[in-house]
């Protein structure tokens, strides 16, 4: 009689955001389980940690696995991170993370001492696309996540490149000197035109000046408090002039910024994701590629410009890859 087969080890990945926590479990590089919950808004870090541990356990259940089979956990988080300690120093978008939170060790304690690795959310999302998604054929690529802000991550010679910690911050490339003010306080950054937070601030200013839009009506009807990517998608379908103008300006700025990045790095591919990137899809990506073209130094050999393959699972899958999945 043959011995019972030992269960395959699994790896968990967590994409921590200000509004949601997305977790996956990978087995042999494939998603075997997935769970999403809302991020607790109480401002108590322990409740966020409890929610993370809960999503990991729930995803393990879906995968037919258990904590004892968990080889490691990766967490992608916004904010400033001490990667060696696995701590988040400041993540203003995550309730309760305005001061240092020992995220890695706290999650580890909730999972029977499992090793936990913590990384930047956009960087691990790009890593996920590189290893398990649209970036698999390429050794040199830029991932650009267009959401509340504009984040980026670089893969150079097949490896994630963080520089001294801020590598890939494409959102703060200058596309118009002296232009619109960015949430970072500077003027003319790419994020000032293509980040949803800056776009919403601009929309509110225009409304105060008497311009008409359906954006805020759609937002309220959808029960949102912010202009989400879905709100923009619905407004565009209705032919809303302000939404069209804001997205046109975002495409223009992304075209300039990404062409400049391409001229510097001579990449094989650029992958565009994030809330707006994933929601508006390939037509949005194709428009950006078209706007890049006049600014490319090597016009005859442009990079491949792609949508994400993993969509909103990119961050969680990348976090699992970070942990060895």
Q: What is the chain's mean pLDDT, rounded? A: 94
Cα–Cα distance between 54 and 51 in angstroms, integer?
A: 5
CA dihedral 187, 192, 193, 197 (to 10 degrees): -160
Q: Is the pLDDT of residue 2 over 80?
A: no
Q: Read off the pTM.
A: 0.89
CB within 8 A of 297, min separation 6: which ones? Answer: 263
Quick count: other Cβ atoms within 10 Å of Cβ 268?
16
Mean pLDDT of 47-76: 96
Interval 239-280: pLDDT, tens: 999 999 999 999 999 999 999 999 999 999 999 999 999 999
- In whole angstroms, what is the distance from residue 202 CA to residue 322 CA? 37
- Per-residue confidence at 3, pLDDT binned at 50, 70, 90? very low
């Amino acid at each position: 009689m043959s011995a019972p087969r030992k269960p395959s080890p699994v790896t968990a990945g967590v994409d921590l955001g200000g509004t949601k926590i997305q977790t996956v479990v990978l087995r042999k590089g494939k998603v075997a389980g997935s769970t999403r919950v809302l991020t607790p808004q109480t401002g108590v870090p322990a409740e966020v940690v409890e929610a993370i541990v809960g999503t990991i356990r729930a995803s393990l259940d879906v995968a037919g696995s258990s904590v004892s089979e968990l080889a490691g956990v990766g967490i992608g988080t916004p904010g400033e991170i001490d990667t060696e300690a696995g701590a988040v120093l400041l993540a203003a978008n995550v309730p309760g993370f305005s001061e240092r939170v020992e995220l890695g060790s706290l999650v580890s304690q909730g999972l029977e001492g499992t090793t936990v690795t913590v990384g930047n959310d956009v960087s691990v999302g790009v890593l996920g696309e590189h290893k398990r998604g649209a970036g698999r054929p390429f050794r040199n690529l830029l991932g650009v996540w267009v959401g509340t802000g504009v984040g980026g991550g670089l893969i150079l010679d097949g490896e994630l490149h963080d520089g001294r910690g801020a590598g890939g911050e494409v959102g703060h490339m200058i596309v118009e000197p002296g232009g619109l003010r960015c949430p970072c306080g500077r003027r003319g950054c790419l994020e000032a035109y293509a980040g949803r937070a800056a776009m919403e601030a601009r929309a509110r200013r225009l409304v105060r000046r008497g311009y008409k839009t359906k954006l805020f009506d759609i937002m309220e009807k959808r029960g949102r408090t912010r202009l989400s990517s879905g709100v923009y998608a619905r407004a565009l379908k209705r032919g809303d002039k302000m939404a069209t103008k804001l997205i046109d300006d975002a495409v223009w700025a992304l075209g300039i910024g990404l062409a400049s990045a391409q001229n510097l790095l001579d990449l094989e591919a650029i992958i565009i994701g994030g809330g707006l990137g994933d929601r508006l899809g390939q037509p949005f990506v194709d428009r950006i590629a078209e706007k890049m073209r006049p600014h490319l130094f090597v016009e005859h050999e442009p990079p491949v410009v792609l949508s994400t393959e993993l969509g909103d699972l990119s961050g969680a899958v990348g976090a699992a890859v970070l942990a060895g999945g």
